[in-house]
Amino acid sequence: MDKTIEKIVSLCKRRGFVFQSSDIYGGFSAVYDYGPLGIELKNNISQLWWKEMTQVHENIVGLDSGILMHPKIWEASGHTGAFNDPLVDCKQCNARFRADEFSKEYKEIDWKETQCPRCGTTGMLTEPRQFNLMFKTSVGPVEEKGTEAFLRPETAQGIYVNYQLVQGAMRTKIPFGIAQIGKAFRNEIIARNFIFRTREFEQMEMQYFVKPGLDDKAMIEWKTKRHDFYYEKLGITKSKIRFHEHQNEELAHYAKEAWDIEYEFPFGWSEIEGIHNRTDFDLRRHQDFSGKNLTYFDQPNNERFLPYIIETSAGLNRMLLTVLSDSYWEDIENNRVVMKINPKIAPVKAVICPLVKKDGLPEKARKIAEELKPHFKIIYDQQGSIGKRYYRQDEAGTPFGITIDHQSLDDNSVTIRYRDSQRQERISEDKILNLIKNNI
Ligand code: GAP
């Protein structure tokens, strides 16, 4: 099967998962809108992550901080400085480098003849550009000096600057985590591969506060947990998930150790999540810049220290693209395309179909739909042949099809059809709810 990103993009538009932004105006580069199925899938994925973090782990709590924050935060975090460097990008592997790291005389370099330090390809590096990735805006009615603010390029900083308030309010003891899901914005030079790299995206980040010295152990723990999440919870093919460790030249300015979790997309292995040991870099910087004491008081040991932070940082849109890429299946034998999405996160759980639009079948089908609706997302469909209706739902990733026929009127039985195998069986109407509930 030839699984290409173009085929996935086309299915996403056709079935209402993802649309190019501002389509009727010819599109707006590197921004995407999520259609009816896309938003259901995105919500299901983020709820799965949220539950995993804040429900399964008693010592992780949630937060929702603002997109706009005090501009000094970005000076402290290093984003104002680090994002102002001359940058070159590799068009092959999307890695970004500071041009002056190649040579102080970087203006003399012939970039077309230069090899990418990460993937080794020659001729794919862009010319250096002075570039700040942050989107600038102005706060208040008059645009003047002092009103400048930035759209956050990561959600993490909102957690760092709130960490003491959260800790005080919830009386959390170290080790503890703070989780957040929210929009982030980066003025990416090279935005490509559909929703993989965009200018507006969502992050799901968790910052885990530990005692210095216990950071390496926590790093190992979180690497395992996050890796296993992809195939155990999300249902992604295990052999398509791997780690990539950042070597010195790749390490972000804040990280002591960093690992990417990568997925094998149709366009190659690429990062979906980063696990970083950020040490006390961020808290120390915020302490210096704000003048506030940000140490944690460890009561049992009667000592104060700045916690180290292990960060797990996933892109929600990339996770969604992972799910879409992994579940796309061309069933050549049966001439259909199936999105084999894990039923737990499938946008719609069941389609309810009266076999024909007459003889009282729609009324019975409607009654069943009404009974199932409060429990999970279903759709009612009576348009077209039953085969076409099933195939439409195969592309939408709907795991169960319920058909009401003339026999249903006699004995209250229905046909349930399983998406992947197309197996069908007859079950009693009153068994539908539990059968589906037990499988999602
Ligand atoms: N707080 C750390 C941080 O932001 P990052 O590696 O720059 O680290 C973390 O980003 C995750 O956010 C990435 O693994 C990716 O999933 C997602 N991400 C980053 N930039 C993105 C973009 N332009 N479009 C979509 N997702 C992006």
Which atom of ligand 1 is the closest one to the Cα of 186? 23
* Residue carrying the six token digits 């299946």: 329
Residue 98 pLDDT grade (very low, low, confident, very high; cuts 50, 70, 90): confident
Which atom of ligand 1 is the closest one to the Cα of 271? 14
| Predicted confidence (pLDDT) per residue in 225-236, tens digit | 999 999 999 999
Instruction: Decide if 278 contacts 257 (C-beta within 8 A).
Output: no
For ligand 1, whether the C-beta of 321 sits within 6 Å is: no
Amino acid residing at 90: C
For ligand 1, whether the C-beta of 156 sits within 6 Å is: yes
DSSP secondary structure, 33-100, as one string: EE-HHHHHHHHHHHHHHHHHHHTT-TTEEE----SB--THHHHHHTHHHHTTSEEEEBTTT--EEEGG
For ligand 1, whether the C-beta of 381 sits within 6 Å is: no
In the three-class reduction of DSSP (H, G, I as helix; E, B as strand; rest coil), residue 261 is classed as strand
Task: Report the DSSP beta bridge partners of residue 265.
Answer: 268
For ligand 1, whether the C-beta of 271 sits within 6 Å is: yes
Residue 307: name the closest of 224, 207, 222 by CA. 207
| Predicted confidence (pLDDT) per residue in 310-339, tens digit | 999 999 999 999 999 999 999 999 999 999
- C-alpha of residue 131 to centroid of ligand 1, in Å: 18
- C-alpha of residue 273 to centroid of ligand 1, in Å: 7
What's the rounded Cα separation, in Å, for the pair 257 and 118?
17
Inform me whether the pLDDT recorded for 161 exceeds 80: yes
Examine residue 175 and say whether the peptide bond preceding it is cis (omega within 30 degrees of 0).
yes
pLDDT of residue 97: 83
- Indicate which residue's Cα is closest to atom 12 of ligand 1: 315
Per-residue tokens: 248? 């010195």
Instruction: Decide if 40 contacts 348 (C-beta within 8 A).
Output: yes
Nearest 5 degrees, angle CA 363-CA 366-CA 370? 140
140's torsion region: left (phi>0), alpha (psi -120 to 50) or beta? left
For ligand 1, whether the C-beta of 89 sits within 6 Å is: no
CA 374: distance to chain centroid?
Answer: 27
- C-alpha of residue 292 to centroid of ligand 1, in Å: 29
- C-alpha of residue 248 to centroid of ligand 1, in Å: 19
- C-alpha of residue 203 to centroid of ligand 1, in Å: 7
* Residue carrying the six token digits 């102080």: 104
Residue 383 or 96, more confident: 383
What's the rounded Cα separation, in Å, for the pair 127 and 190?
12
Residue 324: name the closest of 265, 274, 272 by CA. 265
Q: Cα-flanking dihedrals φ and ψ of residue 214, to 5°?
A: -105, 10
| Predicted confidence (pLDDT) per residue in 393-407, tens digit | 999 999 999 999 999
What's the rounded Cα separation, in Å, for the pair 45 and 273?
14
What's the rounded Cα separation, in Å, for the pair 135 and 188?
10
What's the rounded Cα separation, in Å, for the pair 215 and 345?
33
What's the rounded Cα separation, in Å, for the pair 304 and 314?
31
Residue 87: name the closest of 128, 132, 134, 133 by CA. 128
Inform me whether the pLDDT recorded for 387 exceeds 90: yes
List, in sequence order, every beta strand (DSSP E) within 197-354: 200-210, 241-245, 257-265, 268-277, 296-298, 303-305, 308-315, 328-331, 336-339, 350-354
pLDDT of residue 84: 62
Inform me whether the pLDDT recorded for 13 exceeds 80: yes
For ligand 1, whether the C-beta of 318 sits within 6 Å is: yes
- Indicate which residue's Cα is closest to atom 9 of ligand 1: 313
- C-alpha of residue 3 to centroid of ligand 1, in Å: 25
Q: What is the CA radius of gyration of the chain?
A: 25
Predicted TM-score (pTM) of this structure: 0.91
Helical spans, DSSP H, in 213-310: 215-232, 281-290
For ligand 1, whether the C-beta of 273 sits within 6 Å is: yes
- C-alpha of residue 404 to centroid of ligand 1, in Å: 46
- Among 16-30, 89-103, 392-406, the range scoring the smallest mean pLDDT is 89-103
Q: At what angle do helices 36-54 and 316-327 cross, to 10 degrees?
A: 110
Inform me whether the pLDDT recorded for 260 exceeds 90: yes
Mutate to test the pocket of ligand 1, among 253, 281, 318, 321 (most ligand atoms within 8 A of CB): 318
